[in-house]
Amino acid sequence: MLIFMPAICFAKVRNDSTILEKMWSYRRNYAHYTSSGGTNTYMRYTLNTERRNFTMFLVPTLYSFAKGERLYISEIYGKMESNGAHSFNTKPQVISSTIPHERQISTVFTDFLTPNIYDMTIYEEKILSPFYRKNRRYYRYEINNSDANLVHVAFRPKLKNTQLVKGYALVNANTGRVVYTMYDGEFDMLKFHVDAVYNNDGQNTVIPQRCVSDLNFKFAGNRISSHFLATYNTPTTLPDSLNEVNDRQMMDSLRTFQLNDEEKSIYQKYDEDRERDLEEAKKAKEQEDSLHPKKRSVGDVLWNIGDHLVTSSHADAMGADFSLSPIINPQYISYSRSRGLSYKIQVGARYNWNKKRYLTIQPQIGYNFKIKQFFHYTPIRMTYNPKRNGYAEIIVANGNRISNNSVKLAIENLNPGVENDEEFKNKDLEYFTDNYIQAVNNVAAFDWLEIKAGIVYHIRRADNESGMIEYDQPTVYRSFAPLLTLHVSPWRKGPYFTLNYECGIKGVFASTLSYERYEFDASHQFKLDPLRRINLKSGFGMYTNNKTTYFLDYANFRDENLPGGWEDDWTGNFQLVNSEWYNTSKYYFRFNTSYESPLLVFSFLPIIGKFIERETIYLSFLSIQHTRPYAEIGYGITNRFVSIGAFASFLNASFKDFGLKFTFELFRKW
């Protein structure tokens, strides 16, 4: 017996490993998704606002639930199609809902309806799947034989983190196909419990046959519980012409699972309230005095104002649509020591003449509290050839605040000794506001080459006009320049190159500056997997044929006063560079890289580590005129509340400075 015991133990290890290998390899060996025509799907969810207070008004997309009824139901019947290789997209065709203003709940909730367990992430760019081979380093597995054909596979995280789940699956011992799975997790203010049953007919085995998800939202004393049910491969196929039709009777004929008593009562109360409201409105209209029309109550007015303050607004009619970002939204606030506190909002408008010609206006408006200045950037674009990205565009903006020591140095050279005057030092003569208009035309000549050509006209006005007049200096500098930009992408998944040329012509529209500017920029993103990536960005630029170093304003090396958020503002930019450096060097060379990944360093810390969604390491180098080689290193974390980064800068090998930056992430995806 003692002789055979090791063999028995090794056999169990080999058997367990074989089961896991089959499970991890199932998609490659057996599974496929039949995407032609998509698959029909029916979805239903109920929401119960168990507790609420005034802070729910601040949650985007949940404003409608902050007052009024506590129970809601919504049903969707439509078609689900493959959206790329590893995700799915559902097109709603018929809708029935009791949610006010015909709103739908945030996709943060509905994302949990279609788990993609065989991919690296169960949901798009979130939740690492235990059924994916490369994720095995994050999970512990325990296997128990249930019967001859099914094996019980339990999984739990090696460390607690919001990107990991705990649960079990019933796995076919012969093929590794997941027959059923149940798991629990927490992500972005939501705790979730998911039960999914998978198809066994050899077709569409990647998607579940039925999925039930229970989600609980808790924030500042508010609590919403929700129950979601989704079924796939339903028999009824609707015409493609149907799109988001609100029809209860049609939904009654399409429903794959009958309503339970609670769901029926929600609809019944909704119908009774609606009938009563219509009756009251009819009576009010009959009694209304035409000389004294009924005024809207203060409460109604405030409610509508609040709705637009904290939720995105969208309207469309006769080929035109309009959108407005929430005016009160933490994610539009950012802070860094070099730039101070900034805030912005975005507005969008579009008018369609036809599918191939449309006009878009997308202004951004922001305020920088450090320099107490409003900024605006308003692009007006007429797209005439979408296939070739052909458009004509006019941009009106007040640009970045220019800090130019060259003007101040010129005054010092003309007035020897003035540099020692304390009053002169405090005049801030180096600061200018920059208003400009740019007109360009863009077209893709080939699939790998885009050409943009146009003109730009700058008016730079001194902040301290009286000080400039005192020293007999111009208060306004103008520049007119034709420009040419080439965007080159020779490989489909390779690096992206940009070449810029601008030539300032003196005398045109009172232009006072003559120069030539050349810039080259290269960027590439190595996507190692859905949650890990390496970002690379490098470039150089130079000014030639200019007699002064006034207003050296580069396209790819500048201080942005309207930050774009974590994704496009942190990676590729310097966080601690003095703002004066951007406009005083006749040349620059830069290199920026960052590595993003979950479960990197701080995720292993107790208590706080489980809430970290992503960690990022930054490394940047800069070489410019009149200073030693400059470098920055940084480390940042992102969780459901904020993104925080710590950065240190160095001149040569000597430490120079340290600073922090943060942006609010609260409800960023809502």
**What DSSP line would sit under 616-635, residue for residue?**
EEEEEEEEETTS--EEEEEE
14-18, 295-299, 488-492, 550-554: segment of lowest average pLDDT? 295-299
Residue 33: pLDDT band by 50, 70, 90 thresholds?
low
| Cβ-contact 535, 594 below 8 angstroms | yes
- pLDDT number for residue 652: 86
- pLDDT number for residue 88: 75
pLDDT(378) > 80: yes
- pLDDT number for residue 65: 77
pLDDT(315) > 60: no
- pLDDT number for residue 202: 55
- pLDDT number for residue 297: 47
**How many percent of the chain have pLDDT more than 90?**
34
- pLDDT number for residue 68: 78
The model's pTM = 0.76
Burial class (CB in 10 A: 0-12, 13-18, 19+), 46: buried
**Between 471 and 20, whose confidence is greater?**
20
Cα 34 vs. chain centroid, distance in angstroms?
Answer: 30
Could you read off the pLDDT of 451-482 as tens digits, one per residue? 999 999 999 988 888 888 888 888 888 999 99
pLDDT(429) > 80: no
For residue 237, give every residue at least 6 positions away whose Cβ sits within 8 Å of its Cβ, in sequence order, or none: 40, 79
pLDDT(405) > 90: no
- pLDDT number for residue 37: 54
pLDDT(413) > 70: yes
- pLDDT number for residue 86: 59
Which contacts (CB < 8 Å, 24+ apart) does range 469-472 have? 471/411, 471/414, 471/415, 471/418, 471/429, 472/414
**Between 649 and 569, whose confidence is greater?**
649
- Distance set, CA 17 to CA 13, 85, 107, 142 (Å): 6, 28, 37, 11
CA 332/CA 367 separation, integer angstroms:
11
Average the pLDDT over 65-90 and give the result: 79
Highest mean pLDDT among 21-30, 255-264, 452-461: 452-461
Count of beta carbons in the 10 Å neighbourhood of residue 296:
9
- pLDDT number for residue 207: 82
Average the pLDDT over 235-258 and give the result: 88
pLDDT(291) > 80: no
pLDDT(601) > 60: yes
- pLDDT number for residue 509: 92
- pLDDT number for residue 419: 72
- pLDDT number for residue 2: 43
DSSP 206: T
- pLDDT number for residue 286: 66
**Between 422 and 23, whose confidence is greater?**
23
Highest mean pLDDT among 57-71, 333-347, 476-490: 476-490
Location of structure tokens 């050509």: 453
- pLDDT number for residue 475: 87
| Cβ-contact 436, 405 below 8 angstroms | no
**Helix, strand, coil % over all residues of the chain, rounded to 5:** 20, 45, 35
- pLDDT number for residue 76: 92
For residue 368, give every residue at least 6 positions away whose Cβ sits within 8 Å of its Cβ, in sequence order, or none: 339, 340, 341, 342, 375, 561
| Cβ-contact 228, 215 below 8 angstroms | yes
Location of structure tokens 């965007």: 487
Could you read off the pLDDT of 485-537 as tens digits, one per residue? 999 999 888 899 999 999 999 999 999 889 999 999 999 988 887 788 899 99
- pLDDT number for residue 424: 73
- pLDDT number for residue 89: 78
pLDDT(293) > 60: no
**How many percent of the chain have pLDDT more than 70?**
82
For residue 199, give every residue at least 6 positions away whose Cβ sits within 8 Å of its Cβ, in sequence order, or none: 205, 207, 208, 209, 232, 233
Which contacts (CB < 8 Å, 24+ apart) does range 196-201 have? 196/115, 196/117, 199/232, 199/233
Residue 578: pLDDT band by 50, 70, 90 thresholds?
confident
32-41, 609-618, 633-642: segment of lowest average pLDDT? 32-41
Specify whether the backbone of 72 is left (phi greater than 0), alpha (psi in -120 to 50) or beta.
beta
Highest mean pLDDT among 156-160, 490-494, 598-602: 156-160
pLDDT(55) > 70: yes
pLDDT(274) > 90: no
**Between 320 and 106, whose confidence is greater?**
106
| Cβ-contact 73, 266 below 8 angstroms | yes
| Cβ-contact 210, 59 below 8 angstroms | no
What does the mean pLDDT of the chain come to? Answer: 81
Average the pLDDT over 31-41 and give the result: 65
80-94, 511-525, 563-577: segment of lowest average pLDDT? 563-577
Average the pLDDT over 300-328 and give the result: 49
Instruction: Report the alpha-carbon angle 610-614-618, nearest 5.
Output: 135
CA 460/CA 192 separation, integer angstroms:
55
Burial class (CB in 10 A: 0-12, 13-18, 19+), 253: exposed
pLDDT(574) > 60: yes
Average the pLDDT over 199-221 and give the result: 82
pLDDT(5) > 50: no
Could you read off the pLDDT of 169-189 as tens digits, one per residue? 999 988 889 999 999 999 988
**Between 197 and 605, whose confidence is greater?**
197
- pLDDT number for residue 181: 95
**Between 167 and 370, whose confidence is greater?**
167
Q: Where are the domains of the chain?
A: 15-265, 563-669
Average the pLDDT over 417-433 and give the result: 76
